[in-house]
Amino acid sequence: MSGSGVSRKARGSYGVQGAYVAGYGSVVGKLEGAGPLGAAFGEVWNDDLAGQTSWEEAERELWLAAIHQATKRADWDPTDPDLVLGGDLLDQLYSTNFSAREHHIPLAGLFSACASFTQAVGLASLLVAAGGPEKVLAGAASHHLAAERQFRFPVELGYQRAPTASWTATAAGVLAIGGARGPIAVRGVTLGRVVDRGSKNPMDLGTAMAPAAHDTLERHLSAFNRSLSDYDRVVTGDLGVVGSSILGELMGAPDGFEQIHDDCGRSLYHASQDTHNGGSGAGCAAAVFSGPVIQRMLAGDFRRVLLVATGALFSPTSYQQGESIPGIAHAVEFVRAWDVEKGGGV
């Protein structure tokens, strides 16, 4: 198993050789730190404003802290990375762009809402495996209070949340993707299509996104000729309680699917924390993967993981114009490199 490169498996699905997770970083807010995964994040903030004067500036600091962690763990100099790939939920990618004003690394900003993390990691892995950039930081961030006032209302209004509503996480996650051999390899990427089944309720995004997760998951399995049992874990993004249940139904075997399925949003908070459907936000899947999940891969608990981050592509304008909510999901397959060497590769 040597060399590097990219191979087309099917429309939108690509095999990857020679892209590794060289480092990882995750930062979360106070509420997320008090959740069941709290101890597994690289950094937990006590103050969600992080000493800044706005929530948007605080989100920029989430980005910078996650980049710092990932770069340090990869043993890269801060000036080493060739490229940052990533996005956030804010209009015109406020936090992604303004963090790039600080780190000075070439930037390719992207947006697929809460699927931005796998879009970033997927494209980063393809580019590194291609022999282009050697060191890429791929990530995403979101801040609860910046997102609330942009998409809904300032929380000071004290409005009531629907039982199916998700809670935008204050979180960022960044992976350092490099060509030098490491313990975890990226082995496959499937870029999602936009799927819209007509859901119009922005207080129930799990329902809006589950069909896109299903579409991408089925396409990935087919392209790589795999079945669900080939994975130790299929980790979805922000489907939460409601969307995970729908995805199980769509997969045709709810119980069997749940045996290997985790959802980042569903696992982020305790039920007692009253976030209803669970976590969401571009930083949710980013932080949960770049903290708790990758640590379990390094510990040997999971050998092959498929991460399917999901995004709801509505905007306040599209919603106010009466449009339904399109969904998208991008998948990235990770394998412990030890298993790759033993012949378990793609």
**Footprint of a copy of itself on this chain (CB under 8 A)?**
5-8, 11-12, 14, 54, 56, 82-83, 87, 89-94, 97-98, 100-101, 104-113, 119, 123, 126-127, 129-134, 150, 191-194, 196, 313-318, 321, 323, 326, 328
CB of 301 to a copy of itself, least distance (A): 31
Task: Tokens 């589950």: give the residue.
Answer: 210
- Which of 58, 314, 91, 68 lies closest to 171, judged by CA? 58
Beta-bridge partner residues of 28: 44, 171
CB of 218 to a copy of itself, least distance (A): 14
Q: Which is nearer to a copy of itself, 210 or 294 (CB)?
A: 210
Q: Which is nearer to a copy of itself, 41 or 63 (CB)?
A: 63
CB of 147 to a copy of itself, least distance (A): 11
User: In this structure, are strands 83-88 and 135-142 parallel, antiparallel, or unpaired?
Assistant: parallel
Q: Which is nearer to a copy of itself, 272 or 321 (CB)?
A: 321
Q: Cβ neighbours of residue 317 under 8 Å, at least 6 residues apart?
A: none
Distance CA 61, CA 283 (A): 13
Helix axes 144-151, 55-73, angle to 10 degrees: 140
Q: Which is nearer to a copy of itself, 130 or 241 (CB)?
A: 130
The residue type of 171 is: A
Q: Which is nearer to a copy of itself, 97 or 273 (CB)?
A: 97
Q: Which is nearer to a copy of itself, 31 or 70 (CB)?
A: 70
- Which of 242, 133, 121, 119 lies closest to 191, judged by CA? 119
Cβ 51 vs Cβ 41: under 8 Å: no
CA torsion sign, 204 to 264 to 332 to 219? negative
Element at 9 (helix H, strand E): strand 5-10
CB of 33 to a copy of itself, least distance (A): 26
Element at 88 (helix H, strand E): strand 83-88
CB of 259 to a copy of itself, least distance (A): 29
CB of 123 to a copy of itself, least distance (A): 7
Distance CA 131, CA 314 (A): 35
Q: Which is nearer to a copy of itself, 46 or 320 (CB)?
A: 320
CB of 300 to a copy of itself, least distance (A): 31
CB of 84 to a copy of itself, least distance (A): 10
- Which of 141, 173, 143, 140 lies closest to 66, judged by CA? 173
Cβ 284 vs Cβ 167: under 8 Å: no
Q: Which is nearer to a copy of itself, 163 or 316 (CB)?
A: 316
